[in-house]
Structure 1
Amino acid sequence: MKAREKADEDFLKGLGARIVGLRKERGITQVELSYRCDIEKTNMRRIEAGNTNVTVLMLKKICGALGVTVGDLFDFTA
């Protein structure tokens, strides 16, 4: 794996972990978050696992569902 691909993978894993942490802080289940974002639970599972490149619009939905800003969402070390 190239260094750039590794960095991208690490970023997505970090973002997913951040979403999980924020969700759990708020006492929201993965099912509830997926419902609030109007996506299938399997897709939310992939996002939280860092296995998919999330669209900007999905990030907006996730932020709204969690009550955070995009800046809050990206407040992690990749």
Structure 2
Amino acid sequence: MALDYQEEVAYISNRIRQLRKEKHLTVQELAYRCDMERSNMSRIEAGRTNLTVKTMCIICNALCVNLRDLIR
């Protein structure tokens, strides 16, 4: 079974946006919690950047969710 990289990136970025909105955070607030620029967080949510596991863990910590919650 082959994974479609673009579909997976789109799913994860949409999931980050969804979780952020559920927590009633702005992009700026989430970026601040992750110690990154707002523009970087916007690129992540738009699926225009390649996320590392480390970056996903930082985002999960800022959202108070497990990595499993992000990729499910």
TM-score by length of 1: 0.85
Amino acid at match of 1:30: V
**Residue aligning to 1:26:** 23
Secondary structure, in 3 states, of the residue corresponding to 1:28?
coil
Report the CA distance between 1:74 and its aligned residue.
Answer: 0.4
**Residue in 1 aligned with 2:14?**
17
1:53 partnered with 2:50: yes
Percent identity of equivalent pairs: 45
Q: How far has the Cα of 1:11 moved from its partner?
A: 0.8
| Partner of residue 61, structure 2 | 64
CA distance in 2, matches of 1:25, 1:67: 11
State the Cα distance separating 1:57 from its structure 2 match. 1.2
CA distance in 2, matches of 1:74, 1:10: 12
TM-score normalised over the length of structure 2: 0.92
Q: Which residue of 2 aligns with 1:39?
A: 36
User: Which runs of 5 or more residues in structure 1 are unaligned?
Assistant: none
Greater relative contact order (Cα 8 A, min sep 6): structure 1 or 2? 1
CA RMSD of aligned residues (A): 1.4
Name structure 2 gaps, 5 residues minimum. none
Q: Which residue of 2 aligns with 1:73?
A: 70
